[in-house]
Chain A
């Protein structure tokens, strides 16, 4: 794995801005008190009795919007991590855009890419197991 600094290429899509804004909108909506009453119950859990891998997402977002990171993490670890990562990515992109700075870029070898793929699947399965056992 190599990290290096790279200037923004012309016409490069600003993923940091797009997904950062989406994350901030979602967190803003989660601040709205009746969100938990409006959020639908999990169909998967309703019919099978088992948690789905995204169960607890709304509650984790509500906790996260109030700045309670640990309760948010306990509700749904991956959603919490994804939201925090999106907000941090948004901030770094914003700073890089504002000051015309190079961005931190990462390159993986084929072996590392395969490890990352396997890790992603394992994380999803681990989260599902955790939520099933906990809820």
Chain B
């Protein structure tokens, strides 16, 4: 770790101005990922702008029946919020499936969205990594790939996004409110994170200095069924091998609306549009679910060490849909 300056932001516009003006500055939220990176030598910001005291720590009702989640709401508080548990249980479940109690007490909403891959090569400065050092190569190819992508990867990077919360948000039609030098803009959640392509060093579509201030959730609408299911290598405190978030409406044994996101399989929370397209209007049966899963996984391209993720994703998705529709609700 190198010496760095530290200042506490008092309002978003000036925080943005400071970071935009310095390429070597970074926002600091709960610090559960960035501080690790500074210790490991992955990140060495010369200035940390602490945004945790901005007035973004509240969860507020929106006029449309939705919620605005402040960027610095702690993961524990978000998971425990009664409105979240009642209206968006899939988000609460996803949050509680991640990390540990101690980490959730520190981690913020925006920080969670910005956390970086746990690819072991990214985290080890003695190995080449295109995400950490563009052009140096990808050590994961042919290496330890148990936690790596099977969808949407590139020859430059096969890392996965580690967040559970983000997978839950991906099925809620969320929007991310971003403050920049030109004011505020709203980014559809699916457009926030990006696939690696030939720029795996970029995790999101945000520019340097743009600050996430909130996440907006629209009203949940008609009664829906939802679930977050995470499969991991130990019962807690492990990143997903595979996770599935589903929001589903069924009428007369037919799927009328569905949103599915997958975690642990791609460089971003993976919205399963192919599966959704198969399911929309299809009978709510296991046969449909299997067809949907197969359609989604058709382009899957696993590595030597994670071929199991294809059948595991299929099994987890099918079982999650099955469990949501077999019990009489």
- Is B one of A's binding partners? no
Q: Which residues of A contact B (CB under 8 A)?
A: none
Q: Which residues of B contact A (CB under 8 A)?
A: none
